[in-house]
Amino acid sequence: MPDPTITAAREIVEESIEGIRGAISGLAADALNWRPSTEGTNPIAVLAVHAMHSTRSWLAVATGAPLPDRDRDAEFRTVVADPRALLAVVDGLAADCRALLATEDAFEPGTMRESHFRTSSGRAEVVSSAWALLHAVEHLREHMGHAQLTRQLWEERG
């Protein structure tokens, strides 16, 4: 029987991926690269790429899978020329996330695991599997909302 925690995470991640795809769908590259203001905001392309890479990384921590290669700084420099290419990146990372959550193994929430090295602290974080799973889900959902709001701002601009 599938673990109910993983099943719930799978459902929330799937809804969030669809929300990100919906924020991207039908927009041209200029809309996907647009920043609502110059300071402290990110375009939809950055939000989508960062959210998906982060989710894949934290799900790997949560499930005990090997950590994927990741260049977090590059995620924030994302600029797209082709909206289809952005959807392909999102879909590829979504497939990785689905695979991480496809396990039939029991989820062990108390298992402590190491995350990626953090330049801010100079070390990797050690967190419980439960923390990593919850963070993966909430972080993805947060950036999905940012992407949806950015799309609304793009569509409403004067």
pTM: 0.94
* Position 38 pLDDT exceeds 80: no
Dihedral over alpha carbons 134, 23, 73, 141 (to 10 degrees): -10
Crossing angle for the helix pair 129-156 and 4-24, to the nearest 10 degrees: 20
What's domain 4-156's superfamily in CATH?
dinb family like domain (1.20.120.450)
Q: What is the pLDDT of residues 82-111, one digit of tens each?
A: 999 999 999 999 999 999 999 888 899 999
Closest by Cα among 74, 44, 71, 70 to 57: 70
